[in-house]
Amino acid sequence: MGNDRKAEIEVSRLLNRQLATTFTMSTTTKKTGKTQRSAIADVVAREYTIHLHKRLHGVSFKKRAPKAIKEIKAFATKSMGTTDVRLDPQLNKKVWEAGIKGCPYRLRVRISRKRNDEEGATERLYSYVQAVNVKSAKGLQTALVEDA
């Protein structure tokens, strides 16, 4: 009986080896459906409303305005996909208008993605963030701006 069992195990190993060679899973990478596109053609400007109040929740008073500036930069990086983000001085004044602890609850901004024409630029595109004057930033949707 011992020999029969050994023969049975050997047969099952051979069958498993044959099945493994005939029914292997594909090792090729799957396409994600995304196509590569040129970032240079993506010069665009959009208007966003940034809800600073929720981004500054729990931040101590003496760190609110600096944190707001960092959050605006992070928002621009995420929405435009550029690591080089430049802020307009008027936007900085708008954030700091009421002091270090009195940041606006919502801020309407225009973020423009532009070509970087500087000589030794590491990034091909940069984002420029400007403040937009509106009566109330509440309830406004993201809008594409035509003059880029």
Overall pTM surpassing 0.85 (yes/no)? no
Assess contact for 139 and 68: CB atoms under 8 A. no
Question: What pLDDT, on a 0 to 100 scale, did the predictor assign at position 99?
Answer: 97
DSSP 53-90: HHHTTT--GGGHHHHHHHHHHHHHHHHH--S-EEE-HH
pLDDT at position 10 over 80? yes
Q: Are 115 and 124 in contact (CB under 8 A)?
A: yes
The pLDDT tens digits for 52-80 are 999 999 999 999 999 999 999 999 999 99
Which CATH code fits 44-145? 3.10.440.10
